[in-house]
């Protein structure tokens, strides 16, 4: 792969570095963030499928549940947090429940409420793959962002900053 410094010449300049152009800085920054997110998701999709044998959307559900108490979340909360319709989540959650990665239970006192929680199998699967997944995110970001953007991202992702400081290459 090309040197990250060479590659960064092809990237858009950090939106905060220039006041020129049609769009205000906030909108330019948002567009760069969307592009970086797209690059990460593109790289992550195949690794998620290979390592976890779930779809990207199912992976997002698992990650969301991994950050919650063991009691989990209601379906409506998951839909809201992921910005997905509840009807679409029903199928995805049924798939990961069938795989033994989550449980679904009725909410006490609410006949329509459904609570979803990560199982131990789901926790173990995520924990076992988390290092590879984190490295995939770091590499995708390293390929996309230039030096100014990388500095900003390092503030958000401490592990990326540590590897930068240690001289460990993050791009292939």
pLDDT tens digits, one per residue of 121-169: 999 999 999 999 988 888 887 776 666 766 676 666 666 555 544 444 4
- Residue 16's CB is within 10 A of a number of other CB atoms, namely 14
pLDDT band at 120 (very low <50, low <70, confident <90, very high): very high
Q: Which of the given ranges, 12-16, 54-58, 147-151, has the highest pLDDT on average?
A: 54-58
* Beta strands at 73-74 and 110-118: parallel, antiparallel or unpaired: antiparallel
Q: What's the confidence (pLDDT) of residue 1?
A: 38
Residue 162: Cβ-neighbour burial (10 angstroms; 0-12, 13-18, 19+):
exposed
pLDDT band at 109 (very low <50, low <70, confident <90, very high): confident
Query: Residue with structure tokens 């049609």?
Result: 22
Q: Give the whole-angstrom CA distance, residue 82 versus residue 60.
A: 8
Task: Please determine, for residue 92, whether its predicted confidence score (pLDDT) is greater than 90.
Answer: yes
Q: Give the whole-angstrom CA distance, residue 117 versus residue 162.
A: 33
The token duo for 99 is 């795989």
Indicate the pTM of the whole model: 0.70
């Amino acid at each position: 792969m090309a040197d990250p410094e060479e590659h960064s010449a092809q990237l858009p300049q950090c939106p905060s570095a220039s006041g020129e152009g049609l769009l205000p800085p906030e909108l330019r920054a948002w567009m760069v963030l969307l592009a970086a997110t797209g690059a990460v998701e593109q790289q992550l999709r195949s690794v998620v499928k290979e390592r976890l044998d779930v779809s990207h959307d199912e992976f997002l559900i698992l990650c969301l549940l991994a950050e919650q108490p063991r009691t989990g979340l209601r379906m409506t909360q998951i839909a809201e947090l992921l910005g997905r319709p509840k009807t679409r989540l029903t199928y995805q959650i049924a798939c990961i429940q069938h795989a033994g990665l989550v449980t679904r239970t009725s909410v006490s006192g609410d006949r329509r409420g459904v609570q979803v929680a990560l199982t131990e199998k789901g926790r173990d699967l995520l924990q076992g793959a988390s290092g590879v997944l984190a490295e995939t995110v770091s590499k995708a970001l390293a390929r996309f962002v230039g030096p100014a953007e990388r500095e900003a991202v390092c503030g958000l992702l401490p592990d990326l900053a540590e590897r930068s400081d240690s001289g460990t290459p993050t791009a292939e």
